[in-house]
Amino acid sequence: MARLRLGVLISGRGSNLQSLIDHFCMADAPAEICVVISNNPGAAGLARAAASGLPTLTIDHRRFGSRAEFDAAVNAALLDAGVELVCLAGFMRLLTTEFVQAWRNRMINIHPSLLPSFKGLHTHARAIEAGVRFAGCTVHYVRPEMDEGPILVQAAVPVLADDDEDSLAARVLVAEHRCYPAAIRMIAQGRVRIEGERAVIAGSGEMPPATQFNPA
């Protein structure tokens, strides 16, 4: 069976990218990373990708006169690499509606909160301030509205009494590294269908330990 061709967009250190590299570098994996693209020439994630022998490309958003021009360049690079699923992994640029619609149901994102709560930035600080007992992460299909779209996978972690933003972020990151590969694997296996704005998962797979993980 042909492997699902992934294009990963990053802006920073590439922590989730490394998790995807670790899960999909084997020849028998159901997906493969075909290109890693960053809008930031100094992104540490580019070095991670290069060290793993993956094709990398920098498309510096500052060199373009508009978001539409930047998005067109990214779109062309993804098409040139034969990408079938776009994976946003710490990509810190808002994408135009036209770009998102062009990749509708073929682009996913990981967000460090239990959506629909705490959309946007500073999720961990806001969760602590709100006094919630659980935080977590969400993998979802991308829609034009920020942090909207059918939810694929979520994992919850406890918010401890002595947590600060950094300690909670570290705990959530462990869950992110489990959730993102799991979501991609389900898509690659053909187990996901979209009904309205819900992602319906067929069958069940192996669930990672030590976290509240959904779907079961």
167-190 pLDDT, tens digit per residue, is: 999 999 999 999 999 999 999 999
Please say whether the beta carbons of 20 and 180 come within 8 A: yes
23 belongs to the catalytic site: no
**What is the sign, positive or negative, of the torsion defined by CA atoms of 81, 85, 89, 91?**
positive
Give yes or no for residue 208 having a pLDDT over 50. no
Q: Which of 23, 61, 111, 177 is catalytic?
A: 111
pLDDT level of residue 211 (50, 70, 90 thresholds): very low
| Overall CATH class of domain 109-216 | alpha beta
| Helices 44-51, 15-24: crossing angle, 10 deg rounding | 20
Write out pLDDT tens, residues 100-146.
Answer: 999 999 999 999 999 999 999 999 999 999 999 999 999 999 999 99
3-state secondary structure of 134: strand
How many Å apart are CA 121 and CA 185, to the nearest integer? Answer: 27
- Which carries the bigger pLDDT value, residue 10 or residue 209? 10
User: Token digits for 195?
Assistant: 């009904």
Please name the CATH architecture into which domain 1-103 falls.
Answer: 3-Layer(aba) Sandwich (3.40)
Rg (CA), the chain: 17
Cis peptide before 116 (omega within 30 of 0): yes
Q: Where are the alpha helices (DSSP H) in 42-88?
A: 44-51, 67-80
Both tokens of residue 88?
Answer: 């946003």
Q: How far apart are CA 10 and CA 49, in angstroms?
A: 11
Taking the whole predicted model, whether its pTM rises above 0.95 is answered as no
Question: Is residue 149 within 8 Å of residue 143, measured between CB atoms?
Answer: yes
Mean pLDDT (whole number) for 192-215:
71
Within the chain, all domains assigned CATH 3.40.50.170 are found at: 1-103, 109-216
Rounded to whole angstroms, the Cα distance separating 145 from 148 reads 6
